[in-house]
A and B are shown apart, each in its own frame.
Chain A
Amino acid sequence: MRKLIMLVLCALATGCGKEPPPQKSGDDAAFEKALQQQFLDAKPGTVIDIPPGKHALQRVLTLRANGVTVRGAGSDKSVLSFKNQISGPEGMLVYGNDFVIEHLAIEDSKGDGLKINDGTNVTVRDVRVEWTAGPSKDNGAYGIYPVKCKNVLVEDSASIGARDAGIYVGQSQNVVVRRNRAEKNVAGIEIENSIRADVYENTATDNTGGILVFNMPDLTQHGEHARVFKNKVFANNLGNFAAKGTAVASVPAGSGIIVTSNPKVEIFDNDIADNRTANIIVASYFITNFADKKPTEGYDPYPKSIYIHDNRFTGGGDAPDGLDWKALKVSMFGIGGHFPDVLWDGYVDTKSLVDGQYPAEQRICVKNGDVEVLDVDGPNKFANPKVMKDEFHCELPPLAAAELKAP
Chain B
Amino acid sequence: MATSRALLRFLPASLALTLLVGCAQAPQPVHYFAEGKPEKLGDWHLIEARDGKLVTNSGVVPYDLAMPLFSDYAHKFRTVWMPKGTAAKYDAEGAMDFPVGTVLTKTFFYPLPAGASRNDKAVARTYDTTRDFAAGTAAEALDLARLRLIETRVLVRREHGWDAIPYVWNAAQTEAELARTGDAIPLELVDDKQAKEAFTYVVPNENQCASCHDTHVQAKRIEPIGPRARHLNRDYAYASGTENQLDHWAKLGYLSGAPAAAQAPRDADWHDAKAPIADRARAYLDVNCSMCHSPTGPANTTALDLRSANDDLRRLGVCKPPVAAGRGTGDRLLDIVPGKPDDSILIYRITSHEPGVMMPELGRSTTHHEGVELIREWIASMPGNCDA
Contact = CB atoms under 8 A, between A and B. Distances in A.
26 contacts: A36-B182, A36-B205, A59-B184, A59-B202, A62-B205, A62-B210, A64-B210, A64-B220, A87-B355, A87-B362, A88-B356, A89-B357, A89-B361, A95-B217, A141-B326, A147-B301, A164-B326, A219-B303, A220-B300, A220-B303, A243-B326, A243-B331, A244-B331, A244-B333, A246-B325, A291-B333
A170 interface: yes
A384 interface: no
B220 A244 contact: no
B273 interface: no
Contacts of B325: 141, 243, 245-246
A96 to B, nearest CB: 9
A212 to B, nearest CB: 14
A40 B207 contact: yes
B6 to A, nearest CB: 36
Given A117-B301, A219-B323, A140 B207 contact: no
A245 B362 CA distance: 23
A366 B181 CA distance: 56
A349 B327 CA distance: 33
Contacts of B329: 243-246
Interface string B318-351: 0111111111111111100000000001000000
A294 interface: yes
A245 B345 contact: yes
A37 B205 CA distance: 9
A95 B180 contact: no
Q: Which of B205, B303, B324 has the most CB of A within 10 A?
A: B324
B332 A244 contact: yes
B331 A111 contact: no
Interface string B33-70: 00000000000000000000000000000000000000
A305 B202 CA distance: 50
Contacts of B202: 59, 86-87
Nearest to A147: B301
Given A86-B200, A87-B202, A37 B326 contact: no
Interface in A91-127: 93, 95, 109-112, 117-118
A375 to B, nearest CB: 26
Given A88-B356, A111-B355, A163-B327, A246 B207 contact: no
Contacts of B200: 86
A57 to B, nearest CB: 11
Contacts of B298: 95, 117-118
A165 to B, nearest CB: 9
A291 B334 contact: yes
B21 interface: no
B301 A39 contact: no
Given A64-B220, A111-B361, A218-B303, 6 more contacts: A85-B355, A86-B202, A88-B355, A89-B358, A109-B356, A110-B356
Contacts of B301: 117, 147-148, 170-171, 219-220
A87 to B, nearest CB: 5
Main secondary structure of the interface of B (DSSP, over half): loop
Contacts of B130: none
A292 B319 contact: yes
Interface string B220-255: 100000000000000000000000000000000000
Interface of A: 32-33, 36-37, 39-40, 58-60, 62-64, 85-89, 93, 95, 109-112, 117-118, 137-142, 147-148, 163-164, 170-171, 216, 218-220, 243-247, 290-292, 294, 296
Contacts of B362: 87
Main secondary structure of the interface of A (DSSP, over half): loop
A290 B218 CA distance: 30
Interface string B178-205: 0011101000000000000000101011
Interface string B350-388: 000011111001100100000000000000000000101
A128 to B, nearest CB: 19
A296 B314 contact: yes
B208 interface: yes
B214 interface: yes
B211 interface: yes
Q: Which of B300, B301, B325, B388 has the most CB of A within 10 A?
A: B301
4 nearest A-B pairs in the assembled complex, by CB-CB distance: A141-B326, A245-B329, A110-B356, A62-B207
A63 B321 contact: no
A112 B329 CA distance: 14
A163 B345 CA distance: 17
B206 interface: yes
Contacts of B334: 245, 291-292
Contacts of B206: 40
B314 A93 contact: no
A144 to B, nearest CB: 14
B365 to A, nearest CB: 7
Contacts of A33: 181
Contacts of B365: 86
Nearest to B362: A87
B361 A58 contact: no
Contacts of B327: 137-141, 163, 243
Interface string B299-327: 01101000000000011000111111111
Given A87-B355, A244-B332, A291-B333, A170 B324 contact: yes
Nearest to A241: B327
Interface in B265-308: 298, 300-301, 303
Given A37-B181, A219-B301, A245 B355 contact: no
B320 A292 contact: yes
Interface in B129-176: none
A170 B300 CA distance: 12
B277 to A, nearest CB: 25
